[in-house]
Amino acid sequence: MTKNRIENNDLVLICHRDKKYLKRVEEGKAFNGKGGTLSFSELVGNPFGKRYSGYEVYRPTLEDIIMFGVKRDTQIIYPKDAAFICMKMDIKYGSYLLEVGTGSGALTIMLSSFIGPEGRIVTIEKEERHFRNAKKNIERFCQNKNVEVINCHVSEYSGSGFDAVFVDVREPWLYTDNIWGFAKESGLIGMIVPTTNQISEILRAFDTHGGFGDTEVVEILLRRYKTVSERIRPFDRMVAHTGYLIFTRKLLDPTSPVPATA
Amino acid sequence: MTKNRIENNDLVLICHRDKKYLKRVEEGKAFNGKGGTLSFSELVGNPFGKRYSGYEVYRPTLEDIIMFGVKRDTQIIYPKDAAFICMKMDIKYGSYLLEVGTGSGALTIMLSSFIGPEGRIVTIEKEERHFRNAKKNIERFCQNKNVEVINCHVSEYSGSGFDAVFVDVREPWLYTDNIWGFAKESGLIGMIVPTTNQISEILRAFDTHGGFGDTEVVEILLRRYKTVSERIRPFDRMVAHTGYLIFTRKLLDPTSPVPATA
Amino acid sequence: MTKNRIENNDLVLICHRDKKYLKRVEEGKAFNGKGGTLSFSELVGNPFGKRYSGYEVYRPTLEDIIMFGVKRDTQIIYPKDAAFICMKMDIKYGSYLLEVGTGSGALTIMLSSFIGPEGRIVTIEKEERHFRNAKKNIERFCQNKNVEVINCHVSEYSGSGFDAVFVDVREPWLYTDNIWGFAKESGLIGMIVPTTNQISEILRAFDTHGGFGDTEVVEILLRRYKTVSERIRPFDRMVAHTGYLIFTRKLLDPTSPVPATA
Amino acid sequence: MTKNRIENNDLVLICHRDKKYLKRVEEGKAFNGKGGTLSFSELVGNPFGKRYSGYEVYRPTLEDIIMFGVKRDTQIIYPKDAAFICMKMDIKYGSYLLEVGTGSGALTIMLSSFIGPEGRIVTIEKEERHFRNAKKNIERFCQNKNVEVINCHVSEYSGSGFDAVFVDVREPWLYTDNIWGFAKESGLIGMIVPTTNQISEILRAFDTHGGFGDTEVVEILLRRYKTVSERIRPFDRMVAHTGYLIFTRKLLDPTSPVPATA
């Protein structure tokens, strides 16, 4: 159960019209935004979900944290995609997950929250710079201690038996053998890529390998509407593309369409 | 941790090309589908994620269960929307949730899975017919015993302190006071409605009430692609509309813009 | 037949990477853009569709003129919508058209081009400021002398017998009688509005009037892709909304569903 | 100017609720549809745009003719795409056009209508079966005698100087030289293909050739709404994909990025 009163050091979401700020309460200090100055001492001991000095102050959600808190040094997986990925990969209380390509750790943080204290995620990232940044984000924002971040290349990692494996690297088709090996039987595998050329490469690699089934390729579009009751209409502009999502399931006894030569 | 071997009485997802079937394994019996006959005794003791007699047999995901298992006597909330709702309502291990309008229980089952054994959902449904059907679906498909289904009208229910409240009824604007009362401070509130006229009514009710903030209206579009590597293209037809999603947060000290008359 | 050589005083489309400029050739002068200086004397007597001093210079299309030439003092009807409107309103060589709400004249210019010298458009605009601006745009960019621009309110205009009537005003539902009167038998009627509340009002007015049939409400979404052969993907952002388009046809003998009281 | 009274042998659009029929009036005969029997003698001498025996009878538009009249033995170019193509290719009164791949002639009929009696289209189709079918459709539905249909392969055709060239064949990238040759200087070129792999091939061929500029790739999505004023919402399902549209312009002095070897 989450608590109702704001305490020193809590994260808060501060809203003023369309502006949102994720801040950590530091008693004695103040926040300055478009709506003027807000002294943090006004908040401490008082409830979330209330107007304070021209701002609305809320308990932040995971989405708020990902959008306004996570420090990005890569393109993050957006909440609209992350939510769909969690559903397709059947993430639940207690899942055992592998993430290949931690990036900034945005998806990691969402996965960590859904699987709870009994679940476990291993996330690997080959770039040391991204690894360091993601590690900080995860330490800062994951409530459960269920994440292991490893700085290694996909080809160096040798874990196996994962319920689900999510892959966010540039050329996933080079690692189909590795990915197949990571997943348990009937394990769920997901990928995100920005271009259709990459979809082609991945599907070709799946065909060649023979150990993947029930493959799907989708994209998720999110359209926002203005919230004026007498003038309902979509916003003028929208995010038109984040990435194509590919989902498949591990099949045992891969049947390579091209038989091995004698 | 999920297990790897199929046992008698397990749910299995049986696939043949584009056809999918969710079945319960009954040793001694057989399944007949587009790909011919599959004897269940062929499965028992053998792994999920394998080809059997021309079928692929997988461990079903929650999405499979919702799409192919849940008995519908109402329009269900589709997985694309359910996933987004879970994210926006900050569902996590241990959440305490209220669902107003159980319908067939599809969303309930997904929520139940995400919140785990430490979480709790109360779901209320006024129609006795829907209540009975949902109760069966929930008993059949929820692994965690964290759901309480109640057959009552929203105006009769008096719980409070919920982390999040999801409302799927025809005229949610009639119950803004009740909904406001159900949620805890800064509690997350979501709604789904099929028409824009309903969006208008809801926004108007929020304006009048004054105790809701950070309101958003969105829709989620899912576009599927064919999985032939040399011919990447969207499917010819798609689901163009399921519902508009409305999200808001509870604000204390509602400031009614229209003062009470003397 | 259009000519091939650029002459003094011609309109030209000058492109440099993603930048486009619509300019009138003025011999002796020069154009300065992102790609450097281009002397107009370099163009005169030379062909359209050629690279000149780091720029590509093309014969402008109507779309180029609307997007880069028309001076806007209102929201214009975008080419994606204008094209669809022309098709739905069966615009062709020789059509006789009424436009209610000239705006900046962008749609007028496209209609004028499609109907040719034998066609005729009357376009009315109540705001004198818009009327003046549209008149200039039309004089500058319409090749055919088939447009009559009138500065009057829809309720003051009394023409009739139009093949098609397009209406772009804020409250078209107030003028259903007028609009019905303008169109010939089976005449095509189109409207554009930004909000769903306006769609409701219009449909309600059509129901009350009884003299409109085969009504359709649509929206057109245009999604652009990047043009790198090895990285096919949509642009990151898109125009998500311009307006809802409503089309209907005039029916004689309107049958009001609510009979007049005795 | 179109006429107002229905005559024997006229095409009429007959509507009953959501059903539409395109029929030729044959005095003495009758039409039988979902709304019962409609005798054609009831129509002759009476106006278009009127209710007759439970049906609404309208003067057909070009879109009606394409959707309900044209006999298809190929996938046609849908009106939403055809309208956009006409706009992008700057079709106007008097244009001189080439269409490569007549198909069933649906786009041809729309182009013929827009360019009027002073314009001219050449359309070539290599399959004799499609050629014959298209020729019949064009004879039946084009009001202007401005279309020449030729049964030949793109590589056999040698015309040139076209204002615009539209190409609807499977492998347009094999014919970039031909297509470049057909268009006049700064001529507009359009293509439609169903897959992203084809987009890649085309863009690669444009890069290699060097004689094409201002290339764009887009898709047009049409979303329809139900027309009940109190329940505004999109239809449940929509056409999600017809084709990707590619537009480019002819550039003189192609500069091949890879210089010819000595």
Q: What is the SS3 string spanning A136-147?
A: HHHHHHCCCCCE
Core vs surface per residue B118-138: b (16+ CB within 10 A) or e: bbbbbbbbbbeebbebbbebb
Q: What tokens were used for C195?
A: 């909000």
Tell me whether strands A36-39 and A30-33 are parallel, antiparallel or unpaired: antiparallel
Q: Are B18 and B35 in contact (CB under 8 A)?
A: no
Cβ count near C229 (within 10 Å): 18
For residue D163, give Cα distances in angstroms to B140, B184, C133.
67, 67, 31
pLDDT bin (cut points 50, 70, 90) of residue D261 is very low
Please name the chains neighbouring A, where neighbouring means 3+ C-beta pairs under 8 angstroms: B, C, D
User: Is there a common fold for D11-60 and D67-250?
Assistant: no
**For chain D, percent of residues with pLDDT exceeding 70:** 96
Beta carbons of C236 and A232 less than 8 Å apart = no
> If you average pLDDT over every residue of chain D, what do you get?
94
Whether residue B75 has pLDDT greater than 50: yes
Structure confidence at residue A255 (pLDDT): 65
Q: What is the distance in angstroms between the CA of the first residue and the CA of the last residue of chain D?
A: 63
Please name the chains neighbouring D, where neighbouring means 3+ C-beta pairs under 8 angstroms: A, B, C
Q: What tokens were used for B4?
A: 């790897």
Q: Are C123 and C52 in contact (CB under 8 A)?
A: no
Task: Tell me which chain B residues have a C-beta less than 8 angstroms from the C-beta of D223.
Answer: 240
Determine contact: A32 vs chain D, CB below 8 A: no
Q: Which residues pair with D246 in a beta bridge?
A: D191, D217
Tell me: the pLDDT tens digits for D23-75?
A: 999 999 999 999 999 999 999 999 999 999 999 999 999 999 999 999 999 89
Q: Report domain extents, chain B.
A: 11-60, 67-250
Q: Which residues pair with A120 in a beta bridge?
A: A96
Q: What tokens were used for C239?
A: 């125009």
Structure confidence at residue C2 (pLDDT): 66
**For chain C, percent of residues with pLDDT exceeding 90:** 92
Choose among C195, C237, C239: nearest Cβ to A232.
C195
Q: Are B60 and B11 in contact (CB under 8 A)?
A: yes
CATH of domain D11-60: 3.10.330.20
Structure confidence at residue B143 (pLDDT): 85
Whether residue D164 has pLDDT greater than 70: yes
> If you average pLDDT over every residue of chain B, what do you get?
94
Whether residue C259 has pLDDT greater than 50: no
Beta carbons of C239 and A241 less than 8 Å apart = no
The Cα–Cα gap between D113 and D105 comes to: 12
81-120 in chain B: CB under 8 A from chain A: 82-84, 86-94, 96, 110, 113-118
Structure confidence at residue A105 (pLDDT): 97
- Determine the distance in angstroms separating the CA of C115 from the nearest CA of chain D, rounded to an integer: 7
The Cα–Cα gap between B92 and B86 comes to: 8
Beta carbons of C93 and D83 less than 8 Å apart = no
Tell me: the pLDDT tens digits for D207-255?
A: 999 999 999 999 999 999 999 999 999 999 999 999 999 999 999 987 6
Q: Which residues pair with D99 in a beta bridge?
A: D123, D166
Structure confidence at residue D255 (pLDDT): 66
Q: What tokens were used for C160?
A: 């009739």
Tell me: the pLDDT tens digits for D98-155?
A: 999 999 999 999 999 999 999 999 999 999 999 999 999 999 999 889 999 999 999 9
- Region B98-108: mean pLDDT is 97
Q: Which residues contact A3 (CB under 8 A, 6 or more apart)?
A: none
Residue of chain C whose Cα is closest to the Cα of B197: C197
Report which of D107, D104, D99 is spatially closest to residue D62, judged by C-alpha positions.
D107
How far is CA C132 from its chain centroid? Answer: 17
Task: Tell me which chain A residues have a C-beta less than 8 angstroms from the C-beta of D196.
Answer: 196-197, 199-200
Q: In which residue ranges of chain A is pLDDT below 50?
A: 256-262
Beta carbons of B240 and D235 less than 8 Å apart = yes
Strand segments, DSSP code E, in chain D are: 11-16, 19-24, 30-33, 36-39, 50-52, 55-58, 96-100, 120-124, 147-150, 162-167, 183-193, 212-225, 237-239, 244-250
Tell me whether strands A120-124 and A96-100 are parallel, antiparallel or unpaired: parallel
Chain D interface, best mutation among B192, B235, B238, by max D CB count within 10 A = B238
Structure confidence at residue B260 (pLDDT): 38
How far is CA B104 from its chain centroid? Answer: 9
Determine contact: D196 vs chain B, CB below 8 A: yes
Structure confidence at residue A260 (pLDDT): 37
Task: For C29, list phi and psi in degrees, rounded to 5.
Answer: -100, 180
Q: Enter the pTM of the model.
A: 0.95
Strand segments, DSSP code E, in C27-73 are: 30-33, 36-39, 50-52, 55-58
Structure confidence at residue B255 (pLDDT): 66
Chain C interface, best mutation among D4, D63, D98, D225, by max C CB count within 10 A = D225
Structure confidence at residue C253 (pLDDT): 83
Structure confidence at residue D253 (pLDDT): 83
For residue D191, give Cα distances in angstroms to A167, D79, D100, D201.
35, 15, 9, 12
Tell me: the pLDDT tens digits for A34-61?
A: 999 999 999 999 999 999 999 999 999 9
Determine contact: C185 vs chain A, CB below 8 A: no
The Cα–Cα gap between B243 and B172 comes to: 14
Tell me: the pLDDT tens digits for C51-82?
A: 999 999 999 999 999 999 999 998 999 999 99
Task: Tell me which chain B residues have a C-beta less than 8 angstroms from the C-beta of D78.
Answer: none
Determine contact: B240 vs chain D, CB below 8 A: yes
Tell me: the pLDDT tens digits for D69-113?
A: 999 998 999 999 999 999 999 999 999 999 999 999 999 999 999
Q: Are B54 and B16 in contact (CB under 8 A)?
A: yes
**For chain B, percent of residues with pLDDT exceeding 70:** 96
The Cα–Cα gap between A79 and A244 comes to: 14
Q: Are B176 and B165 in contact (CB under 8 A)?
A: no
How far is CA B219 from its chain centroid? Answer: 16
Architecture of the CATH domain C67-250: 3-Layer(aba) Sandwich (3.40)
Structure confidence at residue A3 (pLDDT): 75
**For chain A, percent of residues with pLDDT exceeding 90:** 92
Determine contact: A155 vs chain D, CB below 8 A: no
Whether residue C258 has pLDDT greater than 80: no
pLDDT bin (cut points 50, 70, 90) of residue B253 is confident
Beta carbons of A187 and B218 less than 8 Å apart = no
- Region C143-147: mean pLDDT is 91
pLDDT bin (cut points 50, 70, 90) of residue B4 is confident
Q: What tokens were used for B162?
A: 């919920």
Determine contact: A36 vs chain B, CB below 8 A: no
Structure confidence at residue B2 (pLDDT): 65
Whether residue B13 has pLDDT greater than 60: yes
Task: Tell me which chain D residues have a C-beta less than 8 angstroms from the C-beta of A196.
Answer: 196-197, 199-200
Choose among A224, A233, A241: nearest Cβ to C194.
A233
Chain A interface, best mutation among B50, B80, B87, B245, by max A CB count within 10 A = B87
Structure confidence at residue C64 (pLDDT): 97
Beta carbons of D232 and C199 less than 8 Å apart = yes
